[in-house]
Amino acid sequence: MTFTVLSAEFVSENNTFKKGLTELHDFAVDCLIEGDAAIAARGDANTELAGFVDVAREKGWRMIHAVSALASPAGSVSRAAYDHIAGIICRETTAHKGQLDGILLSLHGAQVCDFCEDGEGELLRRLRAIVGPDLPISVTLDLHANATAAMAKNAQIWVSYKTYPHVDMRPCGRKAAELLQDAMAGLTRPATLRRAVPMMDEINSGRSDAGPMVALYDQARAQEAERGILSVSINAGFSDADIFEMGPSVLVTYDSATPGAETRASAIADAHARAIWDARFSGQNEFLDVVNAVEVARGFDSAHGPLVIADYADNPGSGAYGDATNLLRAMLDGKLTNAVLAPMIDPEAAAALHRHKVGDSVTIDIGGKCDPNFGGGPLALTGTITCLSNGSYRGDGPMLGGLDHTFGPTAVFRVDGIDILIVTEREQMLDRQQLCAFGIEPARKAVLALKSMQHFRAAFEPIAGKVIVCDSGALSTPNMSRRPYTHVRRPIWPLDSDTTF
Ligand SMILES: [Zn+2]
């Protein structure tokens, strides 16, 4: 029997505190490709789509891929952008209605729009209105999903990443597709239950390399081998999206046709939710301020690899502006040498530098333009241009291997002993090619200051002599009380110390 499956990737993670909206052109910069062209671009890399395609080929599906639309994390998605992309998915679904045996979606789980808090829940509502309540829908989520009740209600199968840094996209796509295959073949009748924890996000942000979540992911993998338990997803939440249903959650997909599976799924979900709550004081990161981070750098011996300073709070990957200057200022004051700061997202500065040539000495204002209250204002700096580029690179690490990305117009600007990677488009540091492509050899540097919370570890920890984590005071500061929350349900920990569970 040949099954017909409609697939789509619609991925954005939205920081509601960030000024400005995510528009259609923001998707276009990262990825907005319809139909089989998306499979050609993303179908053989570490992506969910590749996992979908692997199973489609093995099982002989007729797969109709509507669109791959991915945007770097930024402000809420505009209605125009959302309606355009959701419209492509709904249009293809309507066109093939009656032929479809299932739907396979790669979503993030923390998508917020200017007209609704729950982009994924809204998409599923629109799809259900077309295909009715019974067609199997299988969805992959990022580990940082704020998985809502509406989401869980409107799809039968849920599979979230179990790694942070995220390196299991393709296996998750494969698992979601295999579970869909079993449902379409009538071998299972999947359903999902959800538990939410009254926290803003999991205390260790879901790190899978250290801390309390490591054991939970191991347990979840073991539980997925139990009879009738199909998928155990532990979502860390995303606290930069100020929505009512923010926070950690557990989704357990089980086979409702297997006797006892629902009871067991419920017990599994309760146990994980309780374990997340009980671990709320056991964070692994020690957050240094910029002065202390630079103090560590000044005394560091890089014989066994550079010191990596993670600028956690200015992580563009969580929607921070990526132009905070506090850490750079401290590095300059500390007279660090053979050091790198990357990226500084400043389209104006990149454009200004592109009006010069390599080797020119230039004085310009760098960074701090988006919101100086979070991370510091502009720095007037004199330096030398060592590289000018259109910003294109092809990843070669665990996360971006084989994928083409671009920073847009990019310059390397050397000020004293520090190479500053000045870029136009928002990306966090995920791959060594983000430096190598612009003439910076990261392993030969003494200090690498990288705007990223945790993902940088996948590619940079193997060459690092040591890693430290810095709270530069930028928008994604771990000090949540600095962000003006108005939508999240209360009480919630840690904003409300009297929260109970
Ligand atoms: Zn994530």
pLDDT of residue 488: 97
| Residue where the block lists tokens 């998750």 | 172
pLDDT of residue 361: 98
From the list 110, 109, 73, the residue with the least C-alpha distance to 453 is: 73
Q: How remote is the CA of residue 175 from the centroid of ligand 1, in Å?
A: 18
* Residues 265-296 pLDDT 10s: 999 999 999 999 999 988 888 999 999 999 99
Q: How remote is the CA of residue 142 from the centroid of ligand 1, in Å?
A: 5
Quote the pTM value: 0.93
Q: How remote is the CA of residue 235 from the centroid of ligand 1, in Å?
A: 9
Q: How remote is the CA of residue 455 from the centroid of ligand 1, in Å?
A: 9
Cross-sheet strand order for the sheet of 229-235? 190-196, 249-255, 229-235
Q: What angle do CA 413, 17, 425 make, to 5 degrees?
A: 30
Q: How remote is the CA of residue 376 from the centroid of ligand 1, in Å?
A: 26
- Tokens, residue 340: 């790198």
Whether pLDDT at 383 is above 80: yes
Q: How remote is the CA of residue 431 from the centroid of ligand 1, in Å?
A: 16
Rg (CA), the chain: 23
Q: How remote is the CA of residue 191 from the centroid of ligand 1, in Å?
A: 24
* Residues 53-90 pLDDT 10s: 999 999 999 999 999 999 999 999 999 999 999 999 99
Contact 146, 239 (CB under 8 A): no
What is the distance between the alpha carbons of residues 373 and 209, in angstroms, rounded to a whole number? Answer: 32
pLDDT of residue 212: 87
Q: How remote is the CA of residue 100 from the centroid of ligand 1, in Å?
A: 30
- DSSP symbol at 66: E
From the list 252, 255, 6, 2, the residue with the least C-alpha distance to 127 is: 6
* Residues 101-125 pLDDT 10s: 999 999 999 999 999 999 999 999 9
Q: Which residue stretches of 155-239 are H helix?
A: 169-184, 213-223
Ranges assigned E (strand) in 287-375: 287-288, 307-311, 339-345, 361-366
pLDDT of residue 3: 98
pLDDT of residue 481: 87
Q: How remote is the CA of residue 4 from the centroid of ligand 1, in Å?
A: 30
* Residues 394-435 pLDDT 10s: 999 999 999 999 999 999 999 999 999 999 999 999 999 999
Whether pLDDT at 205 is above 80: no
Q: How remote is the CA of residue 109 from the centroid of ligand 1, in Å?
A: 9
